[in-house]
Amino acid sequence: MDRRDVEFDAEGVTLRGWFYPARGASGAAPTVVMAHGFSAVKEMYLDSFAEVFAAAGLNALVYDNRNFGASDGQPRQEIDPWAQVRDYRHAITYASTLPEVDATRIGIWGSSYSGGHVLVVAAIDRRVKAVVSQVPLVSGHDNLRALVRADLIAGFRGMFDSDRLARYQGDPPAMVPVVDADPTAPSALPTADSYTWFTETAKLRAPSWRNEVTLRSVEMFTEYEPITYVPYISPTPLLMLPARGDHLTPSELAIAAYGKANEPKKLSILPGGHFDAYVDGFDVSSGPARDWFLEHLA
């Protein structure tokens, strides 16, 4: 599959990624803008999705989030959801300047954390003409309580407050593992399938992935509520793809958020768990996304 390396400015930070031209396009074609979820880099199967879209006649712009992978940005390994939302919008702007891109037919795709971002972007940026949200994070407040026992949440709050004081006193941000072999140990994504997917995928295809994020990335996650934007996505067409066995971003939270969306919308529940959408269930997740973009962009 043809692709080229690209970079673009995001208000002073250079973001880098790949542009996949639409196969068989004779002029400006519809385009899908894509970034990854919590701490992940583009090599972690985003190329697979982009190839499916490009083969169907859609351009795909894939980039690493700021502070991660090939993109610039400081502090490294910090995830600010609102900065990532703004970067989707910078990526749309960049895409619209490319000769291969029809700026009136741009869609956005996101998964997991970025599955939440695209809900926000679709609600606030009317350049977006279709959106696909795969296994999305819809509520930091509710998701924290799904992952962390109630009696342990106060301990997390204490860690956040201590880190805030230390930063005020001039210390660098505290770091925490993204995943740990022991799901009960402190980590950002404390599930066994998270550990397996991230560590195996990094070994297989993403050596630039690092198993750490700033502690305040986790604090910002707990404050982030994409669900509040869901009613405002309409009339942009929304496809939501929760996974039946997802216990990292629980499907019941995503399905409840979908209920707040207005038409046009579609819900397609994927088999398996959170990470199956990238590997074992790839055809089942990429196919409906491709078809949604073809229906509403092409």
How many residues make up the chain in this entry? 298
DSSP one-letter string for 73-123: -SSTT---HHHHHHHHHHHHHHHHTSTTEEEEEEEEEEETHHHHHHHHHHH
pLDDT in tens, 91-107: 999 999 999 999 999 99
Q: What percent of the chain has pLDDT over 90?
A: 94
pLDDT-derived band of residue 228, with 50, 70 and 90 as boundaries? Answer: very high
Average pLDDT over residues 73-82: 98
Q: What is the pLDDT of residue 185?
A: 86
The structure's pTM equals: 0.97
Supply the range of the domain harboring residue 98.
4-145+225-297
Indicate whether 23 pLDDT > 80.
yes
Residue 43 lies in a domain: yes
Q: What is the pLDDT of residue 264?
A: 98
Q: What is the pLDDT of residue 160?
A: 96
How many domains is the chain built from?
1
One-letter amino acid identity for 191? T
pLDDT-derived band of residue 236, with 50, 70 and 90 as boundaries? Answer: very high
Q: What is the pLDDT of residue 149?
A: 84
pLDDT in tens, 30-56: 999 999 999 999 999 999 999 999 999
pLDDT-derived band of residue 298, with 50, 70 and 90 as boundaries? Answer: confident
In angstroms, the CA 85 to CA 116 distance is: 9
Q: What is the pLDDT of residue 63?
A: 98
Residue 41 lies in a domain: yes
Q: What is the pLDDT of residue 297?
A: 98
Q: Going by DSSP bridges, is the β-strand pair 59-63/29-35 parallel, antiparallel, or unpaired?
A: parallel
36 and 48 Cβ atoms separated by less than 8 Å: no
Average pLDDT over residues 194-215: 97
Residue 215 lies in a domain: no
The CATH number given to whatever domain includes residue 289 is 3.40.50.1820
Residue 232 lies in a domain: yes
Residue 194 lies in a domain: no
Average pLDDT over residues 182-205: 94
